[in-house]
Amino acid sequence: MRRIIVAGNWKMNNSVRESVSLIRELGAALDDVKGREVVVSPPFTSLYEVAKEIAGKKIRLAAQDLFWEESGAYTGEISGPMLKDAGCEFVIIGHSERRQFFGETDESVNKKNKAALKHNLTPIVCIGERLEEREKGKTFEIIEKQVRAGFDGFGASEMKKIVIAYEPVWAIGTGKTATPEQANEVHLFVRNLLGTLFGKEISESLPILYGGSVKPDNIKGLMEQSEIDGALVGGASLDAKGFLKIIKF
């Protein structure tokens, strides 16, 4: 039985006070949720306070990025040990916004994946094609390149600790969503590729989430697909009631 994960990426939103308020509203409503893992990813400034609020609750904490060095003269960066100290269990790596605005590459994703595992953080590794790449029929080519490079040097033992999120770049923050069938097609491709690279056990057990304008009104159709193991939710996770509808699909 595969894991079902619903993760909320708050991006650059919410003060500490707002983050605490949101997590309290979520936490109070999750006692009856079974069969899925709930993860939230506040901005760095809110991690520690949110960690205190979710202690003993059915919510787990993720950071939105990390640097691959443990310490040093890297102004503005944050390391794996710092995230663990703040209470994180997960970290989002390679999000398309990091790739688009901050120069993230498949090679830096690989370094960050290794750093996360070294410090017992579960990477939620984002992959996805741009609109022009899909229109040129290059979706699978791009996805394969990202998977091969992002996990270069990894074996099955490392891959057991990985979560993948397929996020078509053209569907992030645009209001557009891949159809459930389009999403499932890519998920199946990724799963088959994982089987080729790392074996059947990894292919069948590694969670592959869908992200890209996930909302309460489209989550059911996505989750009815055979290869989709949950969602990485952006803007909709900032509204407690809407996010709860997604969690409880």
Q: pLDDT tens digits, residue range 83-98?
A: 999 999 999 999 999 9
How crowded is the C-beta side of 5, counted as CA atoms within 13 Å?
Answer: 26
Beta-sheet pairing, 5-9 with 230-233:
parallel
Integer Cα distance of 177 and 164 in angstroms: 18
Find the catalytic residue in 53, 95, 104, 227.
95
Residues 11/234, Cβ–Cβ less than 8 Å:
yes
Q: What is the pLDDT of residue 33?
A: 86
- CA–chain centroid gap for 137, Å, is 25
Element (H, E) at 93: strand 90-93
Q: Please say whether the dihedral angle defined by the alpha carbons of residues 112, 113, 114 and 118, taken in this order, is positive or negative.
A: positive
Which residues lie below 8 Å from residue 71, measured CB to CB, with a gap of 6+?
79, 81
Q: Please say whether the dihedral angle defined by the alpha carbons of residues 66, 43, 63 and 133, taken in this order, is positive or negative.
A: negative
Per CATH, domain 5-247 is 3.30.590.10: no
Q: pLDDT tens digits, residue range 178-190?
A: 899 999 999 999 9
Instruction: Report the alpha-carbon angle 86-246-213, nearest 5.
Output: 85
Which residues lie below 8 Å from residue 139, measured CB to CB, with a gap of 6+?
129, 133, 186
Q: pLDDT tens digits, residue range 216-236?
A: 999 999 999 999 999 999 999
120 secondary structure, DSSP code = T
- Note if 187 is an active site residue: no
Residue of 127, 132, 116, 233 whose CA lies nearest to 190: 127
Integer Cα distance of 13 and 10 in angstroms: 6
Integer Cα distance of 184 and 201 in angstroms: 19
Spans of all domains in the chain: 5-247
Residues 222/17, Cβ–Cβ less than 8 Å:
no
- Note if 95 is an active site residue: yes
pLDDT in tens, the chain (249 residues): 679 999 999 999 999 999 999 999 999 898 888 899 999 999 999 999 999 999 999 999 999 999 999 999 999 999 999 999 999 999 999 999 999 999 999 999 999 999 999 999 999 999 999 989 999 999 999 999 999 999 999 999 999 999 999 999 888 777 777 899 999 999 999 999 999 999 999 999 999 999 988 999 999 999 999 999 999 999 999 999 999 999 998
Find the catalytic residue in 129, 167, 187, 227.
167
